[in-house]
Homo-oligomer: A and B are copies of this chain.
Amino acid sequence: MLRTHTCGELRIEDINKKVTLTGWVQRLRDKGSLLWIDLRDRYGITQLFLEEGKSDAALILAARQLGREFVIRATGTVSERISKNDKIATGAIEVKLEGLEVLNSSKLPPFTIEDDTDGGEDLRMKYRYLDLRRNPVRESLQLRHKVAQQTRIYMDSLNFIEVETPVLIKSTPEGARDFVVPSRIHHGEFYALPQSPQTFKQLLMVSGFDKYYQIVKCFRDEDLRADRQPEFTQIDCEMSFITQEDIFNTFEGLIRHLFKTVKGIEIPVMPRMNYAEAMKNYGSDKPDMRFEMKFVEFNDVVVGKGFQVFDQAELVVGIVATGCAGYTRKQIDELTEFVKRPQIGAKGLVWMRYEAGGALKSSVDKFYQEDDLRKIAATAQAKPGDLILILAGPADPTRKALSELRLLVGGQLGLRDKNKFSALWVVDFPLLEWNEETNRYHAMHHPFTSPKREDIPLLDTDPGKVRANAYDMVLNGTEIGGGSIRIHDRPTQQKMFTMLGFTEDEAKRQFGFLMDAFEYGAPPHGGIAFGFDRLCSLFGGADSIRDFIAFPKNNAGRDTMIDTPATISTEQLKELGIAIKG
């Protein structure tokens, strides 16, 4: 190595040692008679110093010519600092500079390499290699490495085998859009990049691998929303000869292991909530359980008082914002504006203040007497000082709108602390959901999910009512993992494809290999996949996954640093047997 120590290594015990350090010039402080250089590498910062009169004059001159981000090799003697810095691990010492070699110079970076940078998102992405020098970004990727490491330690300890599945696979119409890869050898034919290794991991179960996992890149050619990436990473897992209960134990164990080893946090046993409950009580299949604020239904107590909005509504439902009776008119107006935004879609917001003194005030005082309001308050189990917020309308959209309001109010009340973690299992998802656009059922999870045995008769009579052996793990209101017990016999799989509108021929062409495999001794099996990028960002307490990916794409699917996607040569196109269509 060109160094004897890293910049994070030297301590008071090292005093008088002759050392050589390498790294980047973080900062130069020139007080005339004294000169300090903060030298930075991945491991920390070490202070170098020179003293006019004592240090070599040529050396001082050379040091004065250093700029920010210059790469240097510094030799010197470790000495004790007079004024120690207990914020950094090397703060007790400094190195008296005795030799200096400039390994590389640096132009002035387009933004400052500091924890809080003056660089905007676009600039940071174009110069990602400089952005990655910043502590918070580097630490995010170090955290990611640690999460991956601990995932492997846990899975290995349970005898899971990591198996790499192929990246060049086959395009299938079900699900999101595939990225495709034209074949040069077989003109007119394409590979596709996997949206997940789903069918391969199931085949590995058919092969008797028993317990499989993989930390694996997956690809989806979606219209990018904020914080979606065309390539993303999953912890992908599958097990044979198991029940749903085994999946819960194994993977609740994984997440608890990660919290313990990566964050030093013991999280409680994860409660389970079925899908119907979650939708009824929180209006979401991924309720944020860092706070309760459960939905309260008011239909019974508000009906028949002449308020048309409530009388005609399928559902009148609300939440109690604890201690918010003091919300100003302006604050309440803002909540009303929020629920009326098109993407939320409510018509309006009814509120009722349960004032500290016991008085009740509402936006519907015209229709409801104090007695009626007391009933509402009692139904909601509200207490003096609380604010009740109520929406009304058709059941499903109203619940969804109230779910958004619940998250907003929870946030305002400081109930969504990023350093607090609350996880649960949501279970018993519907197998199918009706799609108005395509006028057919779609698989809610994917076409390989098994229906609950007791619900199978409903497949022919009321398919929308069939529950699946499907489950999600939800952390702080985000789905971090989802999976199911799979179908493992040909007739059921064939029936499922029929339900989804596949002709027999289409099903065979797309998934014939899997249905064939089911005829050669397929074991009962099931699994789960975790969104690794998101998991890491939650562990890091960040809103965006962007900084947990070394080289992310922007919202247009573009890497502005290397400038891709880009045109290719006409020769390449010719070799591939394809043409750009204008």
Residues of A within 8 A of B (CB): 1-3, 6, 22-24, 40-43, 69-71, 73, 103-107, 109, 127-130, 132-133, 138, 141-142, 145, 148-149, 152, 156, 161-171, 173, 177-193, 199-200, 203-204, 206-210, 217, 219, 221, 223-224, 230-231, 233, 240-243, 246, 488-489, 513, 517-524, 549-551, 553, 556-559, 561-569, 572, 574-581
Contacts and interface: CB of A to CB of B under 8 A. Distances in A.
Contacts of A168: 179, 219, 230-231, 553, 559, 564-565
Q: How many copies does the complex hold?
A: 2
Given A145-B163, A181-B181, A2 B242 contact: yes
Contact of A141 (B127, B161, B183, B553): B161
17 contacts: A2-B243, A43-B210, A71-B521, A105-B521, A129-B207, A138-B207, A149-B156, A167-B231, A168-B179, A168-B565, A169-B562, A170-B565, A173-B569, A179-B181, A185-B223, A186-B565, A187-B581
Nearest to A233: B164
Contacts of A41: 208, 210
B209 A170 contact: no
Given A141-B161, A166-B551, A566-B170, A488 B104 contact: yes
Nearest to A73: B241
Contacts of A550: 163-166, 200, 204
Given A241-B2, A577-B580, A562 B513 contact: yes
A189 B519 contact: no
Contact of A138 (B209, B553, B572): B209
Contacts of A206: 129
Query: DSSP majority for the A interface?
Result: loop
B183 A133 contact: no
A558 B41 CA distance: 46
Nearest to A518: B104
A565 B190 contact: yes
Contacts of A163: 141, 145, 550
Contacts of A522: 71, 104
Contacts of A105: 521
Quick one: which of A173, A233, A242, A568 has the most chain B CB within 10 A? Answer: A568
Contacts of A569: 173
Given A163-B550, A208-B24, A572 B230 contact: no
Nearest to A558: B186
